């Protein structure tokens, strides 16, 4: 991984560059592939995509790759703000290089707001939590905060509350999951990342891999829960009845995916600060046909980018593996 940068940069007044790179590397990513290459250059953190960590079957258009890199961008920006610096974000800075996704340039001094500090401190605490969730703990105030956080990333957070809409989303999820699992290429790609990884801290280790649906099988059709956890093999004590949120954008171009990735990370960090757990319901947005149907379900004007389960956090989740960031030049 070339997350290179000095630990302390004298010219930039004791800026902790390694902390910026480490924050970026804590972003979520599909299959935990960590498809970014974070570089420190000329007073800025550059976010490049790492094509070797793309998922050509699950994510042929690299949409989820850009979401993950957008989330990494948001983390770097917040970590920089927490160090009391202005942060100037530029997306797709080089028109000739589609893999160069963002720069976060260090600006002059500006103390972080308390909200920014809280989000930055949540970066290492945020986890994808696949346990059963009760959505009734996601009250109106936090919903409004989540909507506003998404809007700051030019995205829309839409809660799916109606019984018919939830049923329709569930049907799309099951259909997409079955389509993916019946594709040998999808399973081969899964096996490469989930239950093996790349030996460099990306992917998920075998003991975390899980292909069969959980016993409750409501929303967590594809997850990577620890099969060593006996609760996993029994019907859960609490039903899985999460709040469901679709993060959507007006456009569906690379820049919109990067925006949505930043919005996603703000929503996830806000959830962490608010004592909420979150995980992904990815299949319906990964399969083109079900994504188009979900778009229609949302009224036809927005592109769904991410579906999240949300609920009150009940347990601590151990950190998943990460690629090493050495913070050296």
Ligand X SMILES: Cc1cc2nc3c(=O)[nH]c(=O)nc-3n(C[C@H](O)[C@H](O)[C@H](O)COP(=O)(O)O)c2cc1C
Q: Give 106 or 225: the residue with its C-beta nearer to ligand X.
A: 225
Shortest CB 176 distance to ligand X, Å: 10
Shortest CB 45 distance to ligand X, Å: 19
Please list every residue from 54 through 93 that binds ligand X, using CB under 6 A. Answer: 64, 67-68
Residue 41: phi, psi to the nearest 5?
-150, 125
Interface with ligand X, residue 30, by CB under 6 A: yes
Q: What are the beta bridge partners of residue 159?
A: 245
Indicate the burial class of 211 (C-beta count within 10 angstroms; 0-12, 13-18, 19 or more): middle
Residue 131 in contact with residue 314, Cβ under 8 Å? yes
Binding ligand X (rule: CB under 6 A), the pick from 5, 21, 29, 258 is: 29
Residues in the chain: 329
Binding mask 88-127 for ligand X (x = CB under 6 A): ---------------------------------------x
DSSP assignment of 54-98, as one string? --TTT-TT-HHHHHHHHHHHHHHHHHHHHTTEEEEEEES--TT-T
Shortest CB 84 distance to ligand X, Å: 26
Stretch that binds ligand X, among 3-11, 23-31, 81-89, 287-295 (CB under 6 A): 23-31
Interface with ligand X, residue 246, by CB under 6 A: no
Q: Give 44 or 269: the residue with its C-beta nearer to ligand X.
A: 269
Residue 283 in contact with residue 307, Cβ under 8 Å? no
Binding ligand X (rule: CB under 6 A), the pick from 16, 20, 24, 32 is: 32
Residue 143 in contact with residue 320, Cβ under 8 Å? no
Cα(320)–Cα(62) distance, rounded to whole angstroms?
A: 22
Please list every residue from 202 through 231 that binds ligand X, using CB under 6 A. Answer: 204, 222-224
Name the residue with the smallest CB distance to ligand X: 28
Residue 47 in contact with residue 258, Cβ under 8 Å? no
Binding ligand X (rule: CB under 6 A), the pick from 17, 106, 247, 282 is: 282
Pairing mode, strands 303-312 and 243-249: antiparallel
Smallest CA-to-CA distance from 258 within 32, 105, 126, 62 is with: 62
Binding ligand X (rule: CB under 6 A), the pick from 3, 173, 279, 325 is: 279
Interface with ligand X, residue 3, by CB under 6 A: no
Q: Which residues bind ligand X (CB under 6 A)?
A: 28-30, 32, 64, 67-68, 127-128, 130, 204, 222-224, 279-280, 282, 320
């Amino acid at each position: 991984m070339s997350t290179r940068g000095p630990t302390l940069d004298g010219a930039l007044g004791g800026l902790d560059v390694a902390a910026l790179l480490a924050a970026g590397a804590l972003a979520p990513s599909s299959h935990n592939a960590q498809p970014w290459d974070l570089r420190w250059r000329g007073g800025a953190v550059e976010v490049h995509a790492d094509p070797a960590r793309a998922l050509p079957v699950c994510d042929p258009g690299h949409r989820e790759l850009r979401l993950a890199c957008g989330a990494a961008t948001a983390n770097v920006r917040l970590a920089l703000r927490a160090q009391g610096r202005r942060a100037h974000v530029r997306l797709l800075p080089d028109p000739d290089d589609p893999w160069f996704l963002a720069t976060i340039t260090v600006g002059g001094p500006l103390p972080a707001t308390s909200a920014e500090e809280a989000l930055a401190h949540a970066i290492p605490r945020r986890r994808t939590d696949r346990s059963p969730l009760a959505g009734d703990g996601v009250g109106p105030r936090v919903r409004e905060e989540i909507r506003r956080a998404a809007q700051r990333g030019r995205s829309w957070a839409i809660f799916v509350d109606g019984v018919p809409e939830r049923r329709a989303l569930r049907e799309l999820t099951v259909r997409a999951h079955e389509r993916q699992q019946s594709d040998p290429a999808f399973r081969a790609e899964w096996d490469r990342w989930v239950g093996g990884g790349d030996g460099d801290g990306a992917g998920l280790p075998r003991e975390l891999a899980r292909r069969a649906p959980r016993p409750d099988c409501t929303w967590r059709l594809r997850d990577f829960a620890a099969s060593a956890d006996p609760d996993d093999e029994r019907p859960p004590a609490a039903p899985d009845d999460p709040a469901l949120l679709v993060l959507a954008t007006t456009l569906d171009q690379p820049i919109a995916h990067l925006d949505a990735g930043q919005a996603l990370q703000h929503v996830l960090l806000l959830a962490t600060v608010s004592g909420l757990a979150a995980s992904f319901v990815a299949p319906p947005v990964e399969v083109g046909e079900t994504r188009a149907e979900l778009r229609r379900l949302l009224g036809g004007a927005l592109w769904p980018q991410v579906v999240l389960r949300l609920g009150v956090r009940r347990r601590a989740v151990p950190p998943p593996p990460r690629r090493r960031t050495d913070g050296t030049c």
